[in-house]
Structure 1
Amino acid sequence: MRKRIWQLHSWLGLCAGLGLVIIGLTGSVLVFHRDIARFTKPEIVLRPSPLDAPRLPLSGLIAAVEQAHPDYWVRGWLLYHGEERRDVAYVTPHADSAAWYLLHVDPATGDISGPPVALHDTLYGWFIDLHYTFFADHIGLAITAVLAVGFIFLSLTGLYLHRAFFKTVFRLRWRQSWRLFSSDLHKAVGIASLPFNLLLGFTGAYWNIAHLAEELSHEHEEAEVWTAYEGRLDRLDELPALAETTWPGYAFNYVYLPTAEDRQFYVFGQTPENHPFRSRYGSALWFDAASLEINYRQDVRTAGWWARIVDAFEPLHFGDFGGLVSKILWCLAGLAPGLLTLSGALIWFQRRRRRPPPARPAPPRPAPLTAAASGR
């Protein structure tokens, strides 16, 4: 049984190694994507206005964006409260509502940092596409989901195979031979990163599988065209107060604007709860665009246990809940698949080289002569 598990562990690691390395390395970069954007493009992502400057009405900001870029219309708006980052406006061209672009807007002045940029042309979008889909859309989602499940299997089988290694988990025999050093490194990295591997593998697999299941369960038109709802800005500025009335202290973080085909405001934000594992978008309100009646609400504080767990996936997967310390730990965890793949490949090739040649069969011996055959 142990030998069969070791064979499965080895072959799966060799087959999935490259994909897991790419997922791990891109994940390490994505942990610091906001910090990288601040450092590389501060004039685009950082607001020049003071943090305590009052925000302009959201309807006015959207109208300013559409006036500056008349060939686009705003589909969604991401708000940052009390941060040095600009707001993000998500826009699509009138001629192609399936293509999404983004703009960075100062919420206090309405200053727009530049022309619309396609999501996949940003550093963050490029890494996200590679991390989740390998640039292969839904096929890539399926592949990364399979790899994530395989990563969980590799972690659990590695724990079973090397469970005795806990006694000497920090031993690295680097002065003896490459084979022993590779083996010790593989076991040490695998055991040290095991909680991260299981956590990141499970959350990543869940997101991709859930997304694919939703796509398969709903019929989608081949050429879906969305048009703007004409009255979408008329009562937009009433939403923050209505959300505050519904849930005092509610952080209004994102709004998806109504279309002519779907006349609802979709508001996502965070209820005032001192909990490190809560996403910025876990509590949602859906408003009728004309009457502003609430058609749906989900308060993560009173939601079911599974809804609360799924909401915690975002901070747990990206590691941004504990400041710089958690980011560094999650970044290092993203390097683990690369070290495991490299050390595991070295172990496999070294074992193949040291395997003794198969024994040659002994030459057939002549049958002994019987008394009758020998003439005795």
Structure 2
Amino acid sequence: MRKTLFKWHSYGALIAMLPLLIISITGSILVFKVEIDSLLRPAHMVVEADNTTERVSLDTLMQTTLDANPEYELGGWELFDDKQRSDAGYLIKRGTEDWEKIYINQYTGELLSQSQPMGHYITDWLLELHYTFLLEVKGAWVGFAAALIMLFLGISGIILYRRFWAKLFTMRIKAVRRILFSDIHKFIGILSSPILLIMAFTGGYWNIAGILHEINEHGDSGHVYITAPLHSPDISFETLRIQSSKEIPTYQAGYLAMPHEPDRNITFYGAVETNNPLNSEYSSIVSFDKTSGDLVQKQDIRDAGFLMVFLDSFRKLHFGYFGGLITRIIWCVVGLMPVILGFTGLYLYWSRRQQKVIAKRTRVAIDSQSAA
């Protein structure tokens, strides 16, 4: 049983090595996506405002964005009010499924960038590479398969090397390379497996959730391309934003999802004050009818059931920012461990193959001598 499991552990690693290395490297970088963007593109990402400065009306910001991009409709809007980070608008070109992104100073109403395709900037390109390997739905299937294999590798590794816990910190530094690499592989694998399993499980869930959404929403009739606003022109999004903060105590909207498909309404996703460190900044929801502006639904994560709280926790668990800078650094470092595991594992596989070849040649030589 152990020999069979070891064999499948090796085969699984070989099959998924390349996608897992891509996921590992890009994921570790993306842990600090905002910081990298702010460093590389401060003119887009960073704003300066006093604590008393109020946001410009959301309606004004949205209209300014649309006036500058007359061939587009809004698909979403990221809202920030920390006096440091700019808002971001998400645009859809009419008659297509092409999304673009634009940055705007929410305290002055000034556009900070031109509208650019979603993968235009380096970290956005890395995000698409991390999630879909730049292959859209087909790539999401590859990512899902890689996540499943990573789960298997983590669980099978724990089973295979469960006795290594007793000698976890007794690495044989002066041993021959094969033994040293074996110890490194076991040491890093066992130590990082809990976090890697969390990353694989949450990432795999997002992949399959995105795939199922595409199948359910667009499987039969294909995409519905927006050609005009799907909401009433009398809707005031600023009024709805203010109302959303009154519907749920301590609620602050972080993202506005526009009704860019016929069956969708106006939905604000936001955060509330909570004792649960795993509740995300988009954990609570307030939805309004796109025609009348009437309240349709509200969901306070503090009153939600276990399943919704559990699924919402995936965001912070996957990127590791539930504990501030310390957990983000840990997640960044551990996220790179598959690179070392892949290198040491490949060396051990090659070493075993070489040993088998040598043993086979030795047997042939002995048999030849015996026959002589």
SS of the residue corresponding to residue 321 of structure 1 reads helix
* 1:59 shift after superposition: 0.4
Deviates more, 1:68-77 or 1:257-266: 257-266
Q: Which position in structure 2 is the counterpart of 1:38?
A: 38
1: CA distance between counterparts of 2:240 and 2:281?
17
Question: Which whole-Å CA distance do the structure 1 matches of 2:152 and 2:261 have between them?
Answer: 46
Distance across 2 between alignment mates of 1:312 and 1:247? 20
CA-to-aligned-CA distance 1:166-207 (integer Å, 9 cap, x gap): 111122323221101100100000011011111001111111
Unaligned runs of 5+ in 1: 366-376
The C-alpha deviation readout for 1:77-103, integer Å capped at 9, x for no partner, is: 11012141100011122353x111111
The answer as to whether partners of 1:88 and 1:102 remain within 8 angstroms in 2 is yes
Partner of 1:357: 360
Counterpart Cα distance in 1 of 2:336 and 2:52: 39
Identity of aligned residues (%): 30
Counterpart of 1:210, as a letter, is: A
Q: Is 2:66 the partner of 1:63?
A: no
How much does 1:251 deviate?
Answer: 0.9
Task: Please say which of residues 179-188 and 206-215 is displaced more in the overlay.
Answer: 206-215
Q: What pairs with 1:287-366 in structure 2 (closer than 5 Å)?
A: 287-355=288-356, 356-357=359-360, 359-360=363-364
How do 1:141-152 residues align onto structure 2 when only pairs under 5 Å count? 141-152=140-151
Point out where structure 2 has 5 or more consecutive residues left out of the alignment: none
- The range that moved more, 105-114 or 169-178, is 169-178
Letter in 1 for 2:151: I
Partner of 1:7: 7
Question: Does the Cα contact within 8 Å between 2:231 and 2:290 map onto a contact in 1?
Answer: no
Q: 1:270 corresponds to which residue? A: 271
User: Does residue 26 of structure 1 match 2:40?
Assistant: no
1:282–1:311 contact (8 Å) kept in structure 2: yes
- Distance in 2, Cα, partners of 1:121 & 1:296: 35
Say if 1:59 and 1:233, in contact at 8 Å, map to a contact too: no
Name whichever of 281-290 and 54-63 sits farther off. Answer: 281-290
Which amino acid in structure 1 is aligned with residue 311 of structure 2?
V
Task: Give the aligned CA root-mean-square deviation in angstroms.
Answer: 2.1
The separation in 2 between residues aligned to 1:349 and 1:84, in whole angstroms, is: 51
> How many equivalent pairs are there?
364
3-state DSSP class of the match of 1:120? coil
CA contact (8 A) 1:230 1:260 kept: no
2:330 and 2:319 map into 1 onto residues whose CA distance is 11
| TM-score, length basis structure 1 | 0.91
Question: 1:223 Cα deviation (Å)?
Answer: 5.2
How far apart, CA to CA, are the structure 2 residues paired with 1:259 and 1:196? 36
Query: Offset at 1:247?
Result: 0.7
Give, in whole Å, the separation in 2 of the partners of 1:44 and 1:362.
73
- Name which of structure 1's ranges 144-153 and 209-218 shifts more when overlaid on structure 2: 209-218
User: TM-score with structure 2 length normalisation?
Assistant: 0.92
* Cα distance in structure 2, aligned partners of 1:35 and 1:258: 30
Matched residue, 2:161: 162
Q: Which residue of the partner structure matches residue 254 of structure 1?
A: 255
Answer whether contact 1:90 1:103 (CA < 8 A) is retained. Answer: yes
Structure 1 residue 234, shift from structure 2 partner = 3.4
